[in-house]
Amino acid sequence: MKISIKSIIDFVQGNSRFLGAQFNFLATHKKEQVLYRAEICKETCLKNRTCEVCGCRVPGRLYSNSSCNGGSKFPDLMLKSDWEKFKKDNDLKFKL
C-alpha cells in the first residue's frame, strides 16, 4: 500500500463514516452503496479484512468516497440522484 495524502484522507473518511454508520448517521443512499461494495467484495476483501486492490483495511475502506479500483469493481460513491439512476440502470434493489 502506497501512503499518500489521498490515502490518508480516504482512510480517515472511510473509518469516520464506518463509525457514524454504527450510530445510524449515514444517509440511506450511501448505506446502499456500501452494501453494494460489500457484496462485490464479500469473497475477497471482506474475507481477508483488507482491500485486494489498495491494501487498506476493510470495512472502513468501503465507506470512502473514492473507488480504489478505478471503477473496475465499483464506482466512486455517488450523489443520491446519480445512485438512483445507477440502481435503476443495473436493476439493483435494497432492503434496509
CA dist 10 and 78 (Å) reads 15
Domain ranges in the chain are 5-89
Ranking 14-18, 71-75, 78-82 by mean pLDDT, the lowest is 71-75
Q: What is the pLDDT of residues 44-56, one digit of tens each?
A: 999 999 988 888 8
Identify the three-state secondary structure at position 57: strand
Position 55: which residue type? Answer: G
Cell numbers representing residue 78 in the block: 455517488
